[in-house]
Amino acid sequence: MRLSIRIKQIVGVTAIVGLAVVALSALYTNRLANVVLRESLSRGEMLANTILHRAGGIVTGDVDPYLALREDQGLRSILESSIYGDNISFAAIVDTSGTVIVHNNRAQVGRTLAERADLEAVIDDTPLDKLRVIFAGDGQTLEVRETLKRGSEDFGSIRIGVSTLLMRSQLRDLLNDALFTGAAALAVAVFVAGVLSQLLLRPIHVLRSGLTRLGQGEFGVTLEALASAPAPAIGDPDRVLQVTSNLVENALRLTPRGGVVRITAAPATLAVEDTGPGLRREDLPRAFERFYLYSRYSSDRPVGTGLGLSIVKELTQGMGGSVAVETTTDKGTRFTVRLPGAVSQDFTDGSSAPNRELTHTADNTSQK
């Protein structure tokens, strides 16, 4: 299926905005993952420091450290309340062999607590690895650790478990707003692309429509394009296209069946002439005023909105050029656009015959 230029433009703009949204979403997701991981680390370290401070007040003198820790009710209360912290899954004190001395779950006391990945090390990983740790499989538990010392001797460690499942849930909640914003950006992009394509591509649609109608014999005129050599000029391509489309549209509308519309290009010059009814000479000085020709001729010939020629003048002057009109009553009108660039020549110089590749004659002059 062949797509129209407008559809291609909308798809192109949407694709660019979509890629930008995806890239920004990935960056935003990575930053959120960093925030969630660092917040979890901070909570784990805060809890570990609280436990460390309590343990330091318990293990004094020659008492058995493990027995003292196990029997302290204040320490147990701290451990059991730890699971109410965000993303915290357990808190425990183990000896040097990994055997649990105190745990927020009393059933774990006396068991060996397997070591898990260190949360601080995960934070230093690449962005992709961080997201993989958080979102992989059924989740896992990371740890925040703090060593327990008695004098210069290690006698155990504090282990705080942080669940990636809880991190995942927190991260998804934070991403919901970002996903909504991304979807809204895409919707706005599609709308804006549609509006811009309607405005920017109108000259193309006008020319295409005119050529199609010409090919179907609707105008019953011959459209000639004369260009004996390259015709360089300095100007904005879109504005030149709109200028040309406005002039050609007017010429096709006014030229009677069997007539000729001729487009001629020469260095720095573009001319559009027709064999229509022409204008009155007294109207030439005001031909480019808005609605002037419309008010003068709308009652006896097909005219447009009255804005076309004023737009041609504004666009041409905006490119540093000029536009002039010549007319012969009942024989036709010629508009000549001159732009900065190569030295302009007579627009018919060297073009003794129409360019056959660009010239189209209506096949069915009787078709309406």
pLDDT per residue as tens digits for the range 274-290: 998 888 888 888 888 88
pLDDT band at 214 (very low <50, low <70, confident <90, very high): low
* Residue 356 in this model has a pLDDT that exceeds 70: no
The pLDDT assigned to 90 comes to 93
* Residue 83 in this model has a pLDDT that exceeds 70: yes
The pLDDT assigned to 9 comes to 65
The pLDDT assigned to 349 comes to 42
Domain segments of the chain: what residues? 5-188, 203-361
Of residues 212 and 128, the one with the higher pLDDT is: 128
* Residue 354 in this model has a pLDDT that exceeds 50: no
The pLDDT assigned to 313 comes to 92
The pLDDT assigned to 334 comes to 92
The pLDDT assigned to 352 comes to 41
Q: Which fold has domain 203-361?
A: Heat Shock Protein 90 (3.30.565)
Across the chain, mean pLDDT equals: 80
Mean pLDDT for 36-54 is: 91
According to the 3-state scheme, what is the secondary structure of the chain? CCCCHHHHHHHHHHHHHHHHHHHHHHHHHHHHHHHHHHHHHHHHHHHHHHHHHHHHHHCCCCCCHHHHHHHCHHHHHHHHHHHHCCCEEEEEEECCCCEEEEECCHHHCCCECCCCCEHHHHHCCCHHHHHHHHHCCCCCEEEEEEEEEECCEEEEEEEEEEEHHHHHHHHHHHHHHHHHHHHHHHHHHHHHHHHHHHHHCHHHHHHHHHHHHHHCCCCCCEEEEECCCCCCECCCHHHHHHHHHHHHHHHHHHCCCCCEEEEEEECCEEEEEECCCCCCHHHHHHCCCCCHHHHHHCCCCCCCCCCHHHHHHHHHHHCCCEEEEEEECCCEEEEEEECCECCCCCCCCCCCCCCCCCCEECCCCCCC
The pLDDT assigned to 208 comes to 58
pLDDT band at 324 (very low <50, low <70, confident <90, very high): very high
Mean pLDDT for 133-149 is: 89
* Residue 202 in this model has a pLDDT that exceeds 70: no
CATH of 5-188, one of 3.30.450.20, 3.40.50.300, 3.50.50.60, 1.10.1740.10: 3.30.450.20
Mean pLDDT for 29-55 is: 89
